[in-house]
Homo-oligomer: A and B are copies of this chain.
Amino acid sequence: MSAEPALSLEPAGTARAPGGVRMRWWGWGDPEHPAALPAHALAYLRETVGLAPAPRPPVALEAVSLPASTLPAKALEQLREIVGREHARTDRYERVSHAAGRAYPDLVRLRAGAPEGAPDAVLYPASREQVQALLAACARLSIAVVPFGGGTSVVGGVEPLCGGHQAVAALDLGRMAELLDLDEASLTVTAQAGMRVRELERLLGERGLTLGHFPQSFEHVSLGGCAATRSAGQASTGYGRFERMVLGLKLSCPTGEIDLRALPASAAGPSPRELLVGSEGAFGTIDELSLRVRAAPGERLYEGVFFADFATGASALRELAQAHLAPAVARLSDERETAVSLALAGSGGLKGMLGRGYLRARGYAHGCLAILGFEGEPEELRARRERALAIVRRHRGLAVGRSPGRAWLRSRFAAPYLRDDLLTHGVMVETLETATAWSNVGALHRRVGEAIEQALRACGTPGIVMCHVSHLYETGASLYFTFFARQLEGEEIGQWRAVKSAASAAIVEGGGTITHHHAIGRDHAPWLEAEIGREGVRMLRAVKSELDPTGIMNPGKLLI
């Protein structure tokens, strides 16, 4: 059975938004994308965690249960006066497409045709003036507003919650996607927040520049979404987290607007930029961003290295980061992730090259694969790489050539497609992440991994839990966990919640941040106080009250 059974049911020719990017309403990415999970991977999962007896495709769009709109006709009319009739949509496709982000529970619900709700209208403003008029109208009319960029949140960041208001509207920035300015001397680009990161990267590429921001959601995520969630891309070790790129921004909020012009640095009091970056739509909508760009690298050299174990590999990465020799991309899989990657790799790929025989003979039978991605001008890249590999060798790292690097680059944005296929086969797959000090990386890795394993076992669905380090800092690193288990049919959400809670508790009790790059959204909101304290939450709440006194902005996210 195909993994895209609902595809033909989408309204023919309905682009989700002028300038926006069409995405499967029930899952990830390009509706034309073929099934991505190879047969041998499916066989491996059948043996290890088990599959559903029969595939469980998503329901048809028509079968999705949609609540009746609670938006009074008069209110809709007022919103339409601002953006035009065709840009205030209430049709099924639009409402369902904006009914959820792309978290695991979102997909479980969407595929079952049972989203928790849907926006009563989807608004597509064309300008900052329209955004501000919409926010003012919504405040007046008691309509909650969910700013919507690429819709790729994995933490419930765009759930259409009313927060006690009479209705909820999605504010899709898809029509605000213009490049506004490129100051090449200052390596600064200014663009509207609805622009997709991929599109900006394409435009910059034409000028020999790069933003260097490649989250897994790269093909769909918007600039505004990255800023609102403190996104970190796969190359953040080299190019920095998204908040490091934000030099200036403009935000609209129900009480007005904030314009922070692009500045390289400032000592003018607390940073308002850092207060709006990460505000997740709860203070207002980010309309425009000025971002630091860089010269595109003349060469990209991605390669694989095996370490004897995770602790040794982590030590090597730590030394690289602290010597300022870390490559742009540096990822270290733990023993389990390495083993699963080898098992899932096609026979012609990594597996063939790195068969257990080869590794066993060299003492790396239970080793850990790292991907090191060097970027830069050829001569400088070679010099840096040589010095970096000297550190790797001191940690007995075994260079295994470029094939693993190329394989990783090829599939770097593919995981969400695989997730769709796994869900079709009744396999829960979820990721969660944290960051901590280097001295705590080993302990937190064990603690969170064990918490997830225990919670899965307690559900009666023992799983595979694996992890990688993928963002390096001088003082610490991120830990990114992925786990697979058989879905508890009919209890998918409860199963997920049990594991998520156990992992979150282990993270905050173990000294990690509740989120290194997925943001707070709805799913992490109960843990924010554990991270920043009661006064810290009150401080953010005070800002929200000032900018959004009636609480229409993205209720139920960030601050609950």
CA–CA, A270 and B540, complex, Å = 8
Interface size on A, residues (CB 8 A): 90
> Which residues from 267 to 298 on chain A have a C-beta closer than 8 Å to any C-beta of chain B?
267-280, 283, 292, 294-295
Kindly identify which residue among B257, B278, B542 contacts A267, using a CB–CB cutoff of 8 Å: B278
In the complex, whether A511 has a CB less than 8 A from a CB of chain B is yes
Segment touching B, from A100-108, A185-193, A345-353: A185-193
A520 nearest in chain B by CB position: B269
| Chain B: minimal CB distance from A286 (Å) | 12
Inter-chain contacts of A186 with B (CB < 8 A) = 437-440, 475-476
Q: A266: which of B260, B276, B440, B531 is its contact (CB, 8 Å)?
A: B531
* A385 part of interface (Cβ distance < 8 Å): no
Answer whether residue A332 sits at the interface, using C-beta atoms and an 8 A cutoff.
no
Tell me the smallest distance from the CB of A8 to a CB of chain B, in Å: 38
A516 shortest CB reach to chain B, Å: 6
CB of B473 within 8 A of CB of A264, answer yes
A446: CB under 8 A from chain B? no
| Complex interface: chain B residues within 8 A of A187 (CB) | 322, 438, 474-475
List A441-473 residues whose CB lies under 8 Å from chain B: 471, 473
Query: Chain B's nearest CB lies how many Å from the CB of A470?
Result: 12
Residues of B within 8 Å of A391, CB to CB, are none
Q: Which residue of B lies closest to A517 (CB)?
A: B267
A437 pairs with B188, CB closer than 8 A: yes
Cβ-defined contact, B271 with A524, below 8 A: no
Q: Which among A81-89, A164-172, A216-224, A226-234 touches the partner chain?
A: A226-234
CB distance from A15 to the nearest CB of B (A): 30
The interface-forming segment of A300-308, A354-362, A409-417, A543-551 is A543-551
Question: CB distance A277 to B266 under 8 Å?
Answer: no
A183 contact set on B, CB distance < 8 A: 437, 439
In the complex, A255 has a CB within 8 A of chain B: yes
Is A68 located at the chain interface by the 8 A CB criterion? Answer: no
- A248-263 CB mask vs B (1 if < 8 Å, else 0) is 0000010111111111
Distance, CA A260 to CA B531, complexed state (A):
7
User: Does A264 lie within 8 Å of B477, measured CB to CB?
Assistant: yes
Query: Are B439 and A263 closer than 8 Å at their CB atoms?
Result: no
Contact of A545 among B274, B515, B516, B542 (CB under 8 A): B542
A256 and B535 within 8 A (CB)? yes
Please name the residue on chain B nearest to A540 by beta carbon. B270
Q: A243, A247, A533 — which one has the most chain B CB atoms within 10 A of its CB?
A: A533
Could you list some 24 contacts between A and B, CB below 8 A?
A186-B440, A186-B476, A188-B475, A231-B267, A232-B265, A232-B267, A258-B532, A260-B532, A262-B437, A264-B477, A265-B476, A266-B513, A266-B515, A267-B513, A268-B532, A269-B278, A269-B519, A271-B271, A271-B275, A273-B274, A274-B274, A275-B539, A538-B546, A539-B546
Instruction: Using CB atoms and an 8 Å cutoff, list the residues of chain A in contact with chain B.
Output: 183, 185-188, 229-232, 241, 243, 247, 253, 255-280, 283, 292, 294-295, 318, 322, 380, 383, 387, 435-440, 471, 473-478, 511-520, 524, 528, 531-536, 538-543, 545-547, 558-559
Known A230-B269, A266-B513, A266-B515; 17 more pairs at CB < 8 Å: A185-B439, A243-B271, A258-B533, A263-B476, A264-B474, A265-B517, A267-B513, A268-B519, A269-B280, A270-B279, A271-B274, A272-B532, A295-B322, A383-B383, A535-B547, A538-B546, A539-B546
